[in-house]
Amino acid sequence: MPPTPQPDFSAPTIVVGAGPHGLAAAALLNRSGEPTVILERSDRAGASWAQRYGHLRLHTTAGTSKLPGLSVPRQAGPWVSRDDYVRYLEHYVAHHRLDVRVATPVQRIERAEPGSGAQWLVHTPDGPVATGAVVVATGRCHTPNLPHWPGRSTFTGTLLHSAHYRSPGPYRGRDVLVVGAGNSGTEIASVLAGAGAERVRIAVRTPPNILPRSSARWHAAGRLTEALPLAWRDRTSLLTQRLAVPDLTSRGLPRPRTGLYTRNAREGVNPVLDHGFVAAVRSGRVEPVAAVQAFDGPDVVLADGTRLRPDTVIAATGYRANLHDLVGPLGVLDEAGQPLAVGARNHPAAPRLYFAGYTNPLTGVLRQAGIEARAIAHALRREKARTTLRLPRLGDRTTDAFKKGHAPS
């Protein structure tokens, strides 16, 4: 019978997405001798970072935000700005000589035909690309998630997702409601309140776990306590918050009842690192209110029955990975649309298909980019070595048959 075709590892590994996880994966694959091509839908590497609001600063320090093989420049400071990080990503591409094909969106990934020698076909507008391995790195923050609130289409004010918010200037003298008390929502609310907005309220469904952003010790604590019981870590985190953050209950923001480790494990939510939000709430410049329940013409209806009439609603309500069109038919996603296997692990039905950037660890997403990149590069090297060992030795009858194009008798 014919020999089993082996995957063709001579074709470049395809990395989908030129954000931090994709760039890190490509850099380490190239370093390990695996040729790699990055396909990016936009016109530049790091485009998703370049499109964020101008006053954004990373919530991890420069030392924990670097990618493998290149440090963030010292002059960027401890809390790196959006523009400095975009420049760092562009420098990373040049430093590692990464092959980034911009304006090349990937439409879908499907299994290659048996016997073709390829494992996957990566479909682009220019046609399919055959490859032995794919790293999907489009990220968990790919598509803005705007809830389908009842009556949303009737709202007569301005409604936008935080992905489309750029700066506080257009909101001077305006009544603004920010929805969502994560890091983006709290940062936007506090900046608006200090930049001339007439009134700023923030709709809160679950009180956030807030920690000071005065040093890197909070991320270091996350790394050091990973092996401890969850209940112990939660109690410690809640005690830390009581000692370090003023009680804002009288201002409409009670202390959280759930520890930050449990929230991260259950919901993938990280704590809010304070960047002026606590002071803005204490002074009354930012007013916490109940969660949004519905819209009704000019009004926003809250869960406690209160009606507000803001000029603008900014929904800092998170993002979706939006992987269904890309890999949905492959059976590698869970009910929420998240990959069933991430990092160096493969789904049993999808060998050599990797997903990087779909977790939100307390130790830092950008630090995780390097961890996952190293693991994927190691996994592919190991797989290539195993496959090479399985190939027939030169001179035996099976190899001679490959050369002649037919099976041995």
* Band (115; pLDDT cuts 50, 70, 90): confident
Q: Which two tokens stand for residue 203?
A: 């709709």
pLDDT at 82 over 50: yes
Interatomic CA distance for residues 271 and 281, integer angstroms: 17
Q: Could you identify the residue written with the tokens 């040729």? A: 35
Whole-number mean pLDDT of the chain? 89
What angle is formed at CA 164 by the lines to CA 370 and CA 202, rounded to 5 degrees? Answer: 95
> Comparing C-alpha atoms, which of 179, 243, 245 is closest to residue 209?
245
Q: Which two tokens stand for residue 272?
A: 């809010």
pLDDT at 392 over 80: no
Q: Please state which of the ranges 209-213, 218-222, 233-237 shows the lowest mean pLDDT.
A: 218-222
* Band (396; pLDDT cuts 50, 70, 90): very low
Q: Where are the alpha helices (DSSP H) in 248-364?
A: 260-267, 277-282, 324-327
Interatomic CA distance for residues 320 and 128, integer angstroms: 26
Q: How many helices (H) and strands (E) does the chain have?
A: 12, 20
Interatomic CA distance for residues 74 and 54, integer angstroms: 20
pLDDT at 164 over 70: yes
Interatomic CA distance for residues 334 and 320, integer angstroms: 13
Kindly report, residue by residue over 225-253, the tens digit of the pLDDT.
666 788 888 888 888 889 889 999 999 99
Question: How do the residues of the chain divide into helix, strand and coil, expressed in percent and rounded to 5?
Answer: 35, 20, 45
* Band (44; pLDDT cuts 50, 70, 90): very high
Kindly report, residue by residue over 311-343, the tens digit of the pLDDT.
999 999 999 999 999 999 999 999 999 999 999
Please enumerate, as own/partner, the contacts of 102-107 that have beta carbons within 8 Å and a separation of 24 or more: 102/18, 102/40, 102/42, 102/43, 102/44, 102/45, 103/40, 103/41, 103/42, 103/43, 104/39, 104/40, 104/41, 105/39, 105/41, 106/16, 106/39, 106/41, 106/326, 107/325, 107/326
Q: Is 310 exposed, middle or buried (0-12, 13-18, 19+ CB in 10 A)?
A: buried
Q: What percent of the chain is predicted at pLDDT more than 90?
A: 75
* Band (384; pLDDT cuts 50, 70, 90): confident
Helix (H, G, I), strand (E, B) or coil at 20: helix
* Band (109; pLDDT cuts 50, 70, 90): very high
Q: Is 359 exposed, middle or buried (0-12, 13-18, 19+ CB in 10 A)?
A: middle
Plot region of 143 (φ>0 → left; ψ -120 to 50 → alpha; else → beta): beta
* Band (53; pLDDT cuts 50, 70, 90): very high
CB-CB contact of 314 with 193 (8 Å) = no
What angle is formed at CA 183 by the lines to CA 178 and CA 187, rounded to 5 degrees? Answer: 60
pLDDT at 263 over 70: yes
* Band (365; pLDDT cuts 50, 70, 90): very high
CB-CB contact of 278 with 248 (8 Å) = yes
DSSP state of 337: S
**According to the model, what pLDDT value does residue 197 have?**
97
Cross-strand partners of 158: 312
Q: Where are the beta strands (DSSP E) in 139-198?
A: 143-144, 158-161, 175-179
CB-CB contact of 136 with 355 (8 Å) = yes
Q: Which two tokens stand for residue 189?
A: 């609310």
**According to the model, what pLDDT value does residue 388 have?**
61
pLDDT at 177 over 50: yes
pTM (predicted TM-score): 0.88
DSSP state of 271: P
